[in-house]
Amino acid sequence: MNAFFDATVALAYKITRGVHKLVLTMFFSGVAICASANEIVIVAFGDSLTYGYGLPTEDGFVPQLEIWLRDRGADVRIINAGVSGDTTGGGLARVDWVLGDDVDAVILELGANDFLRGIPPAVARENLDAIMAIIIAKDLPVLIAGMPAPTNYGAAYKTEFDAIYPMLAEKYRAPLYPYFMNGIVEGHGAADPMDFIQADGLHPNAAGAQLIVQDIGPAVLALISSMD
């Protein structure tokens, strides 16, 4: 799958952060009224992969994951805190206000835009470390979803970038799901993984989001169980 990753670097993300931040602000202002007494609220904190870029709302990662979890008996609501084009630096700038008092846990998925822009791994590591520190300081369980880098910037860059996620998991004793897109890479049977990617070559289509949910879902269930 190196070719799949390498091809993505040549394509630019369409940056729509302003619109998405407005939607998030409107959404967060009213979420509290929907919660049931025992409902677990999870923030899916990430970039366009979390947001569901290019998909109808119901086909995105967050709505599909919420349905998957509820079908398995979890009383859960997932807040979509994905912002298209967000880097780890952008995530750090907004994480504190995203994690309101009603939040019970976090799925952290950031890093793809850093390596697509050639941001030094040390910078991404520092940002993600600071994000994790904020999450842990709020006493919130967190599932780290890794995003391994392509080889376009060389083996040394990839090695340094890929090491960020296991390092954070060890430092903060947090569960690690090594690769957010693993459901597409490994869970497609004999099909071409690109069958589950949109025409931009970057983002999952609805079927791809479903594969991602099926693969990461058990890890999210385990995160929920750890809160009992």
- The larger pLDDT score, comparing residue 143 to residue 30, is at 143
pTM of the model: 0.85
- Residue 7 — pLDDT band, cuts 50, 70, 90? very low
pLDDT digits (tens, 9 = 90+) for 178-213: 999 999 998 666 679 999 999 999 999 999 999 999
Question: Mind telling me the catalytic residues?
Answer: 48, 200, 203
Supply the pLDDT for residue 19. Answer: 37
Query: Coil, helix or strand for 171?
Result: helix
DSSP code string of 14-80 = PP-HHHHHHHHHHHHTTGGGG--TT-EEEEEEESHHHHTTTS-GGGSHHHHHHHHHHHTT--EEEEE
Q: At what angle do helices 164-172 and 121-137 cross, to 10 degrees?
A: 20
Tell me the mean pLDDT in the region 149-162.
97
pLDDT digits (tens, 9 = 90+) for 117-149: 999 999 999 999 999 999 999 999 999 999 999
Residue 46 one-letter amino acid: G
The structural domains of the chain, ordered by start, are: 2-28+40-225 (3.40.50.1110)
- Using an 8 Å Cβ cutoff, are 108 and 146 in contact? no
**Alpha-carbon span 193 to 187, nearest angstrom:** 9
DSSP annotation of 13 reads: P
Please say if the pLDDT value at position 17 is more than 60. Answer: no
Please say if the pLDDT value at position 35 is more than 60. Answer: no
Tell me the mean pLDDT in the region 63-81.
98
**Alpha-carbon span 120 to 106, nearest angstrom:** 25
Query: Coil, helix or strand for 106?
Result: strand
- Residue 38 — pLDDT band, cuts 50, 70, 90? confident
Number of residues that this document lists for the chain: 228
Supply the pLDDT for residue 228. Answer: 77
